[in-house]
Structure 1
Amino acid sequence: MEHRNPARNDLATPEEFAAWLRQQLERRGYDLRPRGGGQSKFAADSGIGAGTVSRMLRGQGATETRVLQTLAEALDLPLAEVLVAAGVLSSAELHNVRNPAPRTDPITPEEAADELGITDPHSRALFISMTNTLREQRAANGEGRHIAEN
């Protein structure tokens, strides 16, 4: 479910999350009418505290991400969908995470090592040396450069 709320930068409100959660639970057969027992049954089935389920359904705000992860698992939904529904992420932010803008400028071997998390000095030196050697081989073969000069 996509939420649009320009006043809050496309983030879902707690009330929208409550409506979304109610719809998800009812779709799965939980009776959420007073005395229907659905809230308690879902709390037991999911492992989420009954008070937390009640607060979420009353629109008193989404809860911590650990609980949202448990909620996603209980509903068999991707965590990202639950985070958007709960207003933790906007749909635009999720889109940007899933579809990062491509780099237009080449990176140096040092930047590549940083992005790959290569911190050991020996491994780092080996990676940079190998990258430079490959870059030189490509240049010699006329294949162009894909990694910037140091």
Structure 2
Amino acid sequence: MKNSNDSEAGAQAFAKWLREQLTRRGYDLTGLRSGGKTAFAADSGISPSTVGRLLRGDNVTDTRVLGMLATALHVPLGEVLVRAGILDERELAFVRQPQPGERRITPEQAADELGIEDAQARRLFVSMAETLQRTPPPSAEEGRRAEQ
């Protein structure tokens, strides 16, 4: 579990990243009355007070707001979630490419999940699945011979 110093440092790093993103897109954040924060709030649909909290480094973890931020910046939501400290790179990689689980289902269960209701189609599907489960994959040599 992260301590408050880690969380504060992460929020400050996120604020710095956000300032860089906004400046790169032409929002002037140099002074109190520069208008960049207000302009970005209007363009993104995020309230000016929330934009201010994000830019100050206050910890904002509302994923709806972060989603709006990603959309407004044209940045993948995953990157914003990592930058905000919601996910780390390993977690993001898992979300993008989940590892196959240990869940094994029967051909009958697969037919149910696929919505195969016709009796004949269901028998054909189950039979084919059972045949494929029993058949060992061809060796590399057998595969080359079959291609010739």
TM-score (norm 2): 0.70
Task: Name stretches of at least 5 consecutive residues in structure 2 with no aligned partner.
Answer: 138-148
Aligned to 2:141: none
RMSD: 3.5
**Alignment correspondent of 2:42:** 44
C-alpha separation in 2, matches of 1:32 and 1:88? 25
Does residue 30 of structure 2 align to residue 33 of structure 1? yes
Q: How many percent identity over aligned positions?
A: 45
Counterparts of 1:14-25 in structure 2, within 5 Å, are 14-25=11-22
Report if aligned partners of 1:110, 1:128 keep a CA contact under 8 Å in 2. no
Count of paired positions: 132
Q: CA deviation at 1:99?
A: 2.9
Q: Which runs of 5+ in 1 are unaligned?
A: 1-5, 146-150
The structure, 1 or 2, with the larger RCO (C-alpha pairs under 8 Å, 6+ apart) is 1
Deviation at 1:100, TM superposition (A): 2.7
Which TM-score applies when normalising by structure 1? 0.69
**8 Å contact from structure 1 (residues 72, 79) kept in 2:** yes
1:143 deviates by 3.0
The corresponding residue for 2:132 is: 138
Q: Deviations over 1:3-46 (max 9, x none)?
A: xxx979x9881111111111110110111111211101100111
Query: What SS is found at the alignment partner of 1:60?
Result: coil
- What's the CA shift for 1:132? 3.3
- Aligned-pair distance for 1:119? 9.5
Amino acid at match of 1:33: T
